[in-house]
Chain A
Amino acid sequence: EAGVAQSPRYKIIEKRQSVAFWCNPISGHATLYWYQQILGQGPKLLIQFQNNGVVDDSQLPKDRFSAERLKGVDSTLKIQPAKLEDSAVYLCASSLGNFGEQYFGPGTRLTVT
């Protein structure tokens, strides 16, 4: 069974530039999550999709972050414009239902200079 795929694995951008991350969840998983993990911290949920609908985006900084999951399969997370404090690992995860065991992708390490 293929795992959760993410790309790119690493990205370095300057502040005020824009960046996009892509995630393809495990086939058949209805729920997709995007997390931000700053060094030394636990993952912070940014947005949770169930199929192509948003379940929770209460911690998504909507002035600069956006995410979509068209067709209820893969998803993109965008940051525009980036700030220095956005430097983090962005993890995507998926699960069969809307709770329980999540399967994580390898993450994208973003460095904003």
Chain B
Amino acid sequence: EDKVVQSPLSLVVHEGDTVTLNCSYEVTNFRSLLWYKQEKKAPTFLFMLTSSGIEKKSGRLSSILDKKELFSILNITATQTGDSAVYLCAVEATRDDKIIFGKGTRLHILP
């Protein structure tokens, strides 16, 4: 059965810390892995990763994919209170254009 597992499920750190969020997957016919940030209701897109070893970066956020070990990490450096959110990982498969979300990591940044 296809699945996406995120860890940790929740994380509390202080402002300025660096955090690493993990996403592992078992999906047949992998196409891409996406990261979203969900603050209130609507998730907003962060990154899409399709190739191993190529880091995607946007400001203090970066992400990389390992297709051999079947995981991705999302790094946030110099965290700010505005980074507090649920971070969702989703994997797309080419078969039936399926998409599967993980349960998310709830990140709370203390001032």
User: Which of A33, A35, A104 has the most chain B CB atoms inside 10 A of its CB?
Assistant: A104
Taking the closest CB of chain A, its distance from the CB of B107, in whole angstroms, is 15
Interface residues contributed by chain B, number (CB under 8 Å): 24
- Please, how many angstroms separate the alpha-carbon atoms of A58 and B93 in the complex? 14
Is there contact, CB below 8 Å, between B48 and A58?
Answer: no
Q: Mark A31-49, 1 if CB is under 8 A from B, else 0.
A: 0010100001111110010
Is there contact, CB below 8 Å, between A104 and B101?
Answer: no
Binding site for A on B (CB under 8 A): 4, 6, 31-32, 34, 40-45, 48, 88, 90, 92, 96-104
What are 30 A-B pairs at a CB distance below 8 A? Answer: A4-B42, A41-B103, A41-B104, A42-B103, A42-B104, A43-B43, A45-B100, A48-B97, A55-B96, A55-B97, A56-B96, A56-B97, A58-B96, A91-B41, A91-B43, A98-B97, A99-B32, A99-B92, A99-B97, A99-B99, A100-B34, A100-B48, A101-B34, A101-B48, A104-B41, A104-B42, A104-B43, A105-B42, A106-B41, A107-B42
